[in-house]
Structure 1
Amino acid sequence: MDLMDSLFISLGAAVTIYYGVKVLLFTGLLFPKFWFPLPQSFFSSMGEWAVVTGSSEGIGRAYALELAERGMNIVIMSRTKETLDQVAQKIRDTTGKKVKVIVTDFTKEDVFTEIEDQLKALNIGVLVNNVGILPSTIPSKFLDMEELDQIITKVINCNVKTGAKMCKIVLPGMTKRGKGVILNVSSGVASIPFPLYNLYAASKVFVERLSQGLQAEYKDKGIIIQAVAPFGVSTRLANYPKTNMVNMSPEDFVKCSLQYLAAGDKTYGSIWHMIMGWILQTVPLKVLHAECVLRGIQDYVKKKTANTYTSESDAWSG
């Protein structure tokens, strides 16, 4: 009897401690400024320059502006020079920081030798791997997408290959200096198998696993590597939904997500996005993958956009 009493007491204590820690961690997520404080000079202390891919608009542009506000010179990268030049001028006018523009198309095969040459002389303290493409804003089954072979290649080059290549370029300097930050922008849809957005969701799973694996390998070198997995952000890729607590503006999302930099190797970026992630992973996949649900998703998105498939420019994130 004494043995059974001890067993139940120990089990009860373990459960209490487990859920107590859960509550404590959740409290930390509610008050990130208190639990995960970062000094204003934190990012600039990592190095002189921040590199942001896909920074001509949306989340990438917001990261570039925010990091400049925090004292960093910025390298902005995307494929549209005119838009990049506008972002560069905005950064210079509002922050006085230096801006380097690199025009490149990450859907192409051989772009990284030139990028590495342009970055090798810079003291890079922060890398934001943001660039990505969505094959179609209209949810589509795999075989229903037009020009599928080309789409597969572009998604792999842009969403998968680019993040790994940029880490390869930037990590050696960070490990040598013993400090640095890499933010790899994933997506909330990577939380579960996501029909109708298969290629995009699968590519973002790669981003998360690469990011989390690299953090395990290099955290003892003083480097922070974090996957950022937003749900609703009002960008062109998402057809600019109205902003609210869930559908945040890119600027608000970036400011909020940076508060969770010290919270672990993955963040949803805001408490509301975290709740969405938890809900999505709680609903049985049989329900989410039901044909009637998939048709409902397609019909809903079709009502929100006039185009059946996006053009190449419309599919670009950043």
Structure 2
Amino acid sequence: MALEAIVIACVFFFRLVITMAAVDRFSLLYREISRSCSFYIEALAIVGAWYTVRKCVSLALDTYSALRLHVIPRLSGNTDLVKKYGKWAVVTGSTDGIGKAYAEELAKRGVNIILVSRNKEKLEAVSRSISETYKVETDFIVADFSKGRELYPAIKEALKDREIGILVNNVGIFYDYTDYFTNLSEDMLWDLIHINIASATMMTHIVLPGMVKKKKGAIVNVSSAVCCHPTPMYTVYGATKSYLDYFSRALYYEYASKGIFVQSLMPSVTTTKLVAFNSVMSKRSFLFPTAEEYASHAVSTLGLSIRTTGYWRHAIQFTLSQFLPEWMWAWSALYLCRVMRKQALTAK
């Protein structure tokens, strides 16, 4: 639109110069300018009207999409996830935070749950609690994803006879606090790769063939809103979440024709252990929901959007952030992360 306007203005200016050269009286010049202007004003009005219509249509579609994703499912009742996807759901990183809350939401809808995490005592407690509260079958697998490829054969063996309908790749780690890349230890870097990237890749590779065979299933990869912007002092964490986002979207198009739904879930800040280093983010507020609040909304988007924040308040934050130039986002994030790092070091 801007290029068309520039071209029209240039043509108008060129004709104006020719007209000025051809007349020697002001009245004649004025008449010629008026005649020339009428065409270009009409052309610019058409361009402006077309731009306005496009923006209005885009706004209407975005509004409808937001209502369809975040409002209508909450009013129309729960989808029968067992019928749509299958009897069992596997949730990694499921003894705390979003993973635990998501498992509880699935159980509330009648789905049997297999919990996967590294702490056996917590797994037993959460498994028992979900089973008793929601009257569903539960099981668990002890797995420390930081160990790398050695643990996946055992997981594959444990899942081989299950009808897995939903896989939630939630397990992930963050730094102890926001920090510079060179301050991260090699152990931390390998843990980020093994836990945030390899776990989702390998768990999907284990479960997906069974879903393809049944021609139905859902895979939810919990990414992060920071995957969409270069965020200093979140560098490696953000990069691992960008991998999950890309992996999810590409996988969806690869397997949608086979009845598989793949979702990239991109939460913003929720009050979980990952943000315990910061006193502001670790407290529930309008901007920072609890894991339970978040999961309640996120599960209702399953099957509706392949890429979503999962929560309407996070969606507003995400939309507003898209209007910021990259440099403004990056420098603002760098300033806030430096402040958070200083606070964490002082507390430590």
TM-score by length of structure 2 reads 0.79
Q: 3-state DSSP class of the match of 1:51?
A: strand
Residue 135 (structure 1) aligns with: 175
Q: CA deviation at 1:84?
A: 1.0
Q: Is the 8 A contact 2:179 2:341 kept in 1?
A: no
Q: CA deviation at 1:238?
A: 1.2
Matched, 1:34 2:75: no
TM-aligned CA distance change 1:267 to 1:120, over 3 Å: same
Note the residue ranges of structure 2 that are not aligned, 5 or more in a row.
Answer: 1-37
Residue 71 (structure 1) aligns with: 110
Q: Is the 8 A contact 1:54 1:78 kept in 2?
A: yes
Q: CA deviation at 1:257?
A: 1.5
Higher helix share: 2
Q: CA deviation at 1:307?
A: 5.7
The alignment-based identity, stated in percent, is 32
Task: Answer with 280-289 or 195-204: which moved more.
Answer: 280-289
**Matched residue type, 1:75:** I
Task: Answer with 299-308 or 263-272: which moved more.
Answer: 299-308
CA RMSD of aligned residues (A): 2.7
1:245 to 280, 286, 308: 286
TM-aligned CA distance change 1:40 to 1:263, over 3 Å: closer
Q: CA deviation at 1:15?
A: 5.3
Q: CA deviation at 1:243?
A: 1.3
TM-score by length of structure 1 reads 0.86
2: CA distance, partners of 1:282 / 1:14: 18
Matched, 1:126 2:166: yes
TM-aligned CA distance change 1:262 to 1:305, over 3 Å: farther
Q: 3-state DSSP class of the match of 1:107?
A: helix
Q: Is the 8 A contact 2:226 2:268 kept in 1?
A: yes
1:208 to 245, 250, 253: 245
Q: Is the 8 A contact 1:36 1:263 kept in 2?
A: no
Relative contact order: is structure 1 or structure 2 higher (C-alpha 8 Å, sep ≥ 6)? Answer: 1
Task: Answer with 189-198 or 257-266: which moved more.
Answer: 257-266
2:301 to 225, 235, 260: 260
Q: 3-state DSSP class of the match of 2:284?
A: coil
Task: Answer with 183-192 or 236-245: which moved more.
Answer: 236-245
1:107 to 130, 146, 153: 146
TM-aligned CA distance change 1:304 to 1:74, over 3 Å: same
Residue 278 (structure 1) aligns with: 319
Matched, 1:222 2:259: yes
TM-aligned CA distance change 1:305 to 1:54, over 3 Å: farther
Q: 3-state DSSP class of the match of 1:132?
A: coil
Residue 224 (structure 2) aligns with: 187
Residue 340 (structure 2) aligns with: 300
1:50 to 78, 85, 89: 89
Q: CA deviation at 1:19?
A: 3.3
Residue 314 (structure 1) aligns with: none
Larger radius of gyration: 2
Q: 3-state DSSP class of the match of 1:108?
A: helix
TM-aligned CA distance change 1:173 to 1:11, over 3 Å: farther
2: CA distance, partners of 1:120 / 1:23: 46
TM-aligned CA distance change 1:73 to 1:262, over 3 Å: closer
